[in-house]
Amino acid sequence: MEILKVKNLTFTYPEQGEAVLDSLNLSVQQGELVVLFGETGTGKSTLLKLLKPDLAPHGDKTGTIYYKGEKIEQLSERSMASNLGFVMQNPEQQIVTDKVWHELAFGLENLGEDSTIIRRRVGETANFFGIHNWFHKKTTDLSGGQKQLLNLASIMVMEPEVLILDEPTSQLDPIAATNFINILEKLNRDLGLTIIIVEHRLEEVLPIASHVALIEKGMILHKEKPRNIGHKLMKMKGNGEHPLIKALPTTMQIYHALGNDGESPLTVREGRNFLSTHYHQNLNESETLLPHPKRNGEVVIELKKAWFRYERDLPDVLADVNLKIYQGEIFSVLGGNASGKTTLLNVMSGQNRPYRGSVFIKGKNIKSYKKSKLYSQNLAVLPQDPQTVFIKSNLREDYKEIAKAHRYEKDEINQLIEQVTEELTITHLLDKHPYDLSGGEQQKAALGKILLLKPEILLLDEPTKGLDAHSKHMLSMILKKLIHNGLTLVLVTHDIEFAALVSSRVGLYFDNEIISIDPPIDFFSSNHYYTTTASRMSRHIFKNTITHQDVITLCQRQKELNCEKVVE
């Protein structure tokens, strides 16, 4: 049975000449789990919001959306609230009450349900989602993963028939994200819930999806079974590789890169079986894989026995932290939600001062810097929420404002803006309001503004949040170019695959300190949970493969050696 139908949907934002959705058509059957994916800015989030009328953005809309054969605008307010559930990207934006139990009851109270029904549904839902242990906590005391789980539970307590999710794991650490997606699988499998999700973690969601829909230039190009989407993208590549191939799960990328066609493996288990069947360990990997970069720069950031807590009576967030960051490296910090990673960045940047211990920037105690000297072409921070860096009504004026503040000449301002926006492929966004951009576009635009400061040390808090795979690849190239030019980067990230690709060193933040600092090959090859899909998939054959390209390189080399033996 068709539960949702989108017919010839076109949508244009106010004062924008180009439609973000263009005659889009989509059919969703009851009980399906449909993953929408595409490049940043192609209209995915806009489509989801239009499926939930009370969240629909302002603009010009043509075409029709049907829910169970009825036009969605004609649904009663009660039906829209209870039957169509929506989970947003940012957990903070959806929580409206101060206590967990109140958040669970809030939707039912607004629907006017009897108190007996509310108590029964809240109790059942809290047990199902494992919330009973923190049922009476303040919502402000929850971790990011708990907040997003609470958002999901507070929607599910109203028993929706369709659940719509817009990048729900983008701000969660890898383990919390996996747990969240496992719950979605259970809801779909055990309750028959129809789910439509936009998600960049295709590694996790494609194995549980019934269909995947590719959106490009505001249209649905393909709706396929997950195992077939790689084959479709390979056929679409034209004169070069389709940019969304990089978004596919590691198992699929390896499978197709090695010349295979048709249905591809999706899970780590299937990928391991594929490698075991066709390849074996007979190579000296050290001759084939690139060595990790050597550290030879001077120390530009140093924390010595640093302790920090937010209030006198609260627990320490940093406890006796010692850390050295070297000039010209990319240092990535991994760890769980609310573990203290962002606080570590704030202490490094002088936004928070340790109550014991010291922070040195370029060998000078951070206390000795005047703020104008510390942040002027010296040290810059990209915060986790990109919206906090924008102050003007369009991006061009925002960029000019910061350039003027740093007393660049007029010609230099225009040249810098052109250079930065071209590198980040956001020139076409310059005349848009920053808040009208997608999450991924905001992230790139915020980075562009920070780069206009010409910092020598750049601290980035979740820089890949909301970015599609192609944009991540472009960002990795930009970051590598920056360190080649002498910049030093510190990343706090949940994106393990990105950290493996760009980092010089990686550290795990746990128990209020940095532990296990190693080059990425050593770090990810030794870990079982905080590691890459490529490592999980191939470590039974190869020792040090941490990216999909590592696996492809060794497999191709093995084929070459086998061919050479046949010729001999």
Q: Is the pLDDT of residue 297 over 90?
A: no
Tokens read off for 471: 């944009």
Structural domains of the chain in order of their starting residue, each with its CATH number: 2-224 (3.40.50.300)
Mean residue pLDDT of the chain comes to 89
Structure confidence at residue 337 (pLDDT)? 80
pLDDT tens by residue, 478-510: 898 889 888 999 999 999 999 999 999 999 999
Smallest CA-to-CA distance from 183 within 150, 217, 212, 226 is with: 150
Taking the C-alpha atoms of residue 81 and residue 85, their distance in angstroms, rounded to an integer, is 7
Indicate the DSSP class of residue 429: G
d(CA 258, CA 267): 17
pLDDT at 173 over 90: no
Please give, one letter per residue, the 3-state secondary structure of 257-317: HCCCCCCCCCCHHHHHHHHHHHCCCCCCHHHHCCCCCCCCCCEEEEEEEEEECCCCCCCCC
Structure tokens at 423: 């590198």
Q: What is the pLDDT of residues 83-126, one digit of tens each?
A: 999 999 888 889 999 999 999 999 999 999 999 999 999 999 99
For the CA atoms of 268, 274, 278, 280, the dihedral, rounded to the nearest 10 degrees, stands at 20
What pLDDT was estimated at residue 239?
A: 54
All residues at 6 or more sequence positions from 201 whose CB lies less than 8 Å from its CB, including other chains = 169, 177, 181
Contacts for 94 with CB less than 8 Å, ≥ 6 apart: 87, 88, 151, 154
pTM of the model: 0.85
The two tokens of residue 285 are 């990997």
pLDDT at 121: 95
pLDDT of residue 532: 94
Point out the least confidently predicted range of 141-145, 365-369, 546-550.
Answer: 141-145
Reply yes or no on whether the pLDDT at 568 is more than 50: no
pLDDT at 293 over 70: no
Q: How many CB atoms lie within 10 A of CB 371?
A: 8
